[in-house]
Amino acid sequence: MHKAKSWIIITAIAALLAGCQQEASASEAGWMTDYDAALKKAAAENKYVLVDFSGSDWCGWCIKLDKEVFSKEEFINYADENLILVLADFPRSKEQPEQQKAANNALAKKYGIQGFPTVLILNPQGELVKRTGYQQGGAGPYIKMIKNTIAK
């Protein structure tokens, strides 16, 4: 009986570890922070651009969006093939170079960002196609929303 309990605990730990491996941080998922470079890359590769305006270390909905969608393998795989990802982060505790802060502020002003998270989908020419944010359901429904947006 004691061995059976140990086996259950080991199995549960292994399952938790496997689940953790399916998530990645924004930098691992190929997010860029240079908006102009991202637009050039999008034009060259004929891909849409997804810009995430986030408060990554303080905004509850931003953290939830990253955890439920952007860090999931399903989203990362889709994005690798179809999108150029840009993170415009507005952290409160994380260190960020002044140049990046200024660039993010200018980008937020350009698009009239009022709150976080705000997610923009731009066409390969850099024109706004859709403004959205957090949506329930995880990576699958979020990808479907992007596909429907791009198909228009």
pLDDT in tens, 10-42: 443 444 333 433 344 454 569 999 999 999 999
- What pLDDT does 29 receive? 61
Which pLDDT value is given to residue 6? 47
Helix, strand or coil for residue 92? coil
Is the confidence at residue 66, as pLDDT, over 60? yes
Domains of the chain (ranges, CATH numbers): 25-151 (3.40.30.10)
The secondary element (H helix, E strand) that includes residue 83 is strand 83-89
**Banded model confidence at residue 67, pLDDT cuts 50, 70, 90:** very high
Helix axes 139-151, 73-82, angle to 10 degrees: 20
**Residue 128: per-residue pLDDT:** 97
Distance CA 69, CA 73 (A): 9
pLDDT at residue 81 is higher than 50:
yes
What average pLDDT is seen over the chain?
87
Q: What DSSP designation does 119 have?
A: E
Q: Is 14 helix (H, G, I), strand (E, B) or coil?
A: helix
Using alpha carbons, select from 150, 2, 3, 8 the residue that is nearest to residue 79.
150
Min mean pLDDT across 7-11, 29-33, 54-58, 136-140 is at 7-11
Residue 151 confidence (pLDDT): 87
Q: Please say if the pLDDT value at position 117 is more than 50.
A: yes
Q: How confident is the model at residue 152 (pLDDT cuts 50, 70, 90)?
A: confident
Q: CA 96, CA 126: separation in Å to the nearest integer?
A: 25
Cα(36)–Cα(7) distance, rounded to whole angstroms? 53
